[in-house]
């Protein structure tokens, strides 16, 4: 087994290398579906770092492996980012990759190319240490997460047959050790009505009124949702309300809601759809029964990635967590205490990650450990401390050894 000091010294010696790699990634804009150029740059980094295998899959994910062992560990970073938002709120160019005062600045520094840069360094440390343990460590640099979290991993597992025994998500945890987060789904509810002249509303059936009652029912549902002790409460919000009518002087013949549902432990797709169906089925029926039956549906995601491949899936992102005494959580905590001489904070993300597919859908035990504070995710003046990058690189490099020792 390699010593903690060997890994810490290596990560410290590669501190500038890690920061420079992150700055390079930040300088290449990489919105979801447009990741080709940044994947090319990371591929180059992985090749020159000496990874044993580097390839790009059909969806455009970059897969870089170290080791030849029979067991499979995946360490994942999504490398797409959200857009910049209002540029006047940024103190520096979001694509500067500025390195100053111990931080790397720019869009993607926290969410989450910082994790990606630390992974490249970890791969280099393992390669230079001649890692040849029982794990094949797959570092995955994945696409389209900001648009459809987990899609990239559904592709890796279902199409590429990359099925890890354990996974690590490198989204920002502020160097805490995370073991889950709420899931989410997107639901559409559509009502049809009967249009009539606006001067004689009694001749028609106004879809807006039906839809409004449903919206108020959703508001009341949000108050009824019960909390989970670890993940907290699920939530439901109407995020869009639309209607149609032949003219502004007519009764609306259609109206629909879009619902953003956050799912806590025990709240599945079936549960959440059932709640909404119950609300709409309990609405007063229209006089004369003109309104069509409201349609409640889960939305689909089917956009193509930068390679032109699409991998359609329902907009359902299952909740996941593993228990605090799970061997993988224990190994993660042992990696932290071994390197940093203190117990990590064991917690959860507020937002969603690729864990929805890896653990939520496919049941593969997953933990999170990543550089940066999530409060900067999707915010102006995003920045990550270089200390975090260095520590995260050391964590990813030591974890395979700890796993081999403990499991
Ligand atoms: Zn993210």
The residue from 275, 301, 327 where one domain ends is: 301
- 354 CA distance to ligand 1 centroid (A)? 8
Question: Do 203 and 137 fall within a single domain?
Answer: no
Is 315 within 8 Å of 148 (Cβ atoms)? Answer: yes
The residue from 301, 331, 364 where one domain ends is: 301
φ/ψ (deg, to 5) at 126? -65, -40
193: CATH: 3.30.70.360
Task: Assess whether pLDDT exceeds 80 at residue 179.
Answer: yes
- 374 CA distance to ligand 1 centroid (A)? 9
Res 21: pLDDT: 98
Q: Take residue 17 and report the two structure tokens written for it.
A: 């290398």
Question: Do 199 and 141 fall within a single domain?
Answer: no
Question: Do 169 and 190 fall within a single domain?
Answer: no
Active-site pick, 57, 113, 145, 186? 145
Characterise 286 by phi-psi region: left (phi > 0), alpha (psi -120 to 50), beta (else): beta
Residue with tokens 């709120």: 89
- 54 CA distance to ligand 1 centroid (A)? 23
Beta bridge partners of 71: 135
Res 337: pLDDT: 98
pLDDT tens readout for residues 330-355 = 999 999 999 999 999 999 999 999 99
pLDDT tens readout for residues 273-312 = 999 999 999 987 755 555 567 999 999 999 999 999 999 9
> Minimal CA–CA distance to 63: which of 150, 134, 155?
155
Question: Do 201 and 173 fall within a single domain?
Answer: no
Report the 10 Å Cβ neighbour count for 284: 8
Is 341 within 8 Å of 212 (Cβ atoms)? Answer: no
φ/ψ (deg, to 5) at 315? -80, 65
Global pTM reads 0.94
Residue with tokens 């974890």: 399
pLDDT tens readout for residues 92-101 = 999 999 999 9
Res 400: pLDDT: 98
- 203 CA distance to ligand 1 centroid (A)? 51
Res 284: pLDDT: 79
CA 49 from chain centre, in angstroms, equals 26
8: CATH: 3.40.630.10
Q: What's the total number of domains in the chain?
A: 2
In angstroms, what CA-CA distances link 329 with 78, 177, 265, 306, 402? 22, 8, 18, 35, 12
147 is catalytic: no
Please name the residue ranges forming H helices in 302-385.
327-340, 355
Dihedral of alpha carbons 181, 310, 274, 280, sign:
positive
* Average pLDDT score over residue span 114-137: 98
Question: Do 17 and 145 fall within a single domain?
Answer: yes
In angstroms, what CA-CA distances link 12 with 15, 75, 117, 171, 297? 5, 21, 14, 21, 51
Say how far apart CA 193 and CA 251 lie, in whole Å: 8
Res 293: pLDDT: 79
* Average pLDDT score over residue span 373-378: 95
Res 138: pLDDT: 98
Q: What is the DSSP letter of 31?
A: B
The residue from 301, 330, 356 where one domain ends is: 301
Task: Identify residues whose C-beta is under 5 A from ligand 1, the ion.
Answer: 111-112, 171
Output the DSSP codes for 147-191: TSTTHHHHHHHHTS----SEEEE-S--TT-EE-EE-EEEEEEEEE
Say how far apart CA 338 and CA 47 lie, in whole Å: 30
pLDDT tens readout for residues 72-99 = 999 999 999 999 999 999 999 999 999 9
Beta bridge partners of 167: 74, 366
Res 256: pLDDT: 97
φ/ψ (deg, to 5) at 321? -160, 155
80 is catalytic: yes
pLDDT tens readout for residues 222-245 = 999 999 999 999 999 999 999 999
Question: Do 205 and 171 fall within a single domain?
Answer: no
Classify residue 75: in a domain, yes or no: yes
Res 286: pLDDT: 58
- 228 CA distance to ligand 1 centroid (A)? 23
Question: Do 254 and 296 fall within a single domain?
Answer: yes
Classify residue 288: in a domain, yes or no: yes
Say how far apart CA 218 and CA 368 lie, in whole Å: 32
Res 225: pLDDT: 97
Say how far apart CA 405 and CA 407 lie, in whole Å: 6
Beta bridge partners of 197: 250
- 147 CA distance to ligand 1 centroid (A)? 10
| Boundaries of domain holding 203 | 184-301
Question: Do 220 and 123 fall within a single domain?
Answer: no
- 358 CA distance to ligand 1 centroid (A)? 15
Active-site pick, 80, 146, 149, 390? 80
Output the DSSP codes for 279-310: HHHTSPPPGGG-SPPPEEEE-EE--B-TTS-B
- 293 CA distance to ligand 1 centroid (A)? 38
pLDDT tens readout for residues 33-57 = 999 999 999 999 999 999 999 999 9
What is the share, in percent, of the chain residues with pLDDT greater than 70? 98
Classify residue 313: in a domain, yes or no: no
For residue 1, name the pLDDT band (cuts at 50, 70, 90): confident
- 112 CA distance to ligand 1 centroid (A)? 5
């Amino acid at each position: 087994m390699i010593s903690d000091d060997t890994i810490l010294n290596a990560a410290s010696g590669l501190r500038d290398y890690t920061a420079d790699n992150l700055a390079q990634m930040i300088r290449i804009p990489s919105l979801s579906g447009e990741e080709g150029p940044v994947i090319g740059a990371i591929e180059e980094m992985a090749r020159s770092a000496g990874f044993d295998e580097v390839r790009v899959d059909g969806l455009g994910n970059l897969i870089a492996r170290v080791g030849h062992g029979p067991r499979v560990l995946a360490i994942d970073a999504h490398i797409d980012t959200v857009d910049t938002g209002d540029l006047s709120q940024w103190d520096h160019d979001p694509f500067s990759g500025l390195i100053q005062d111990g931080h790397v600045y720019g869009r993607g520094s926290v969410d989450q190319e910082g994790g990606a840069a630390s992974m490249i360094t970890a791969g280099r440390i393992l390669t230079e240490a001649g890692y040849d343990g029982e794990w094949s460590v797959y570092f995955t640099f994945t696409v389209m997460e900001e648009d459809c979290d987990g899609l990239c991993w559904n592709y890796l597992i279902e199409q590429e047959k990359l099925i890890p025994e354990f996974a690590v998500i490198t989204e920002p945890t502020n160097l805490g050790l995370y073991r889950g987060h709420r899931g989410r789904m997107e639901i559409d509810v559509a009502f049809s009505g009967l249009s009539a002249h606006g001067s004689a509303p009694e001749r028609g059936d106004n879809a807006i009124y039906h839809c409004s009652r449903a919206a108020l029912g959703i508001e009341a549902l949000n108050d009824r949702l019960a909390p989970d002790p670890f993940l907290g409460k699920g939530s439901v919000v109407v995020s869009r309300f639309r209607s149609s009518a032949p003219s502004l002087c007519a009764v609306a013949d259609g109206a629909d809601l879009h619902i953003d549902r956050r799912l806590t432990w025990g709240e599945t797709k079936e549960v959440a759809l059932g709640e909404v169906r119950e609300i709409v089925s309990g609405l007063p029926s229209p006089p004369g029964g003109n309104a069509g039956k409201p349609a409640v549906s889960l939305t689909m995601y089917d956009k193509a990635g930068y390679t032109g491949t699409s991998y359609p899936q329902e907009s359902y992102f299952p909740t996941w967590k593993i228990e605090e005494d799970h061997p993988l959580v224990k190994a993660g905590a042992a990696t932290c205490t071994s390197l940093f001489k203190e117990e990590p904070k064991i917690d959860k993300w507020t937002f969603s990650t690729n864990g929805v597919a890896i653990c939520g859908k496919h049941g593969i035990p997953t933990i999170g450990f990543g550089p940066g504070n999530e409060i900067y995710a999707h915010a102006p003046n995003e920045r990550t401390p270089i200390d975090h990058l260095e520590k995260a690189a050391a964590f990813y490099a030591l974890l395979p050894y700890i796993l081999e020792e403990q499991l």
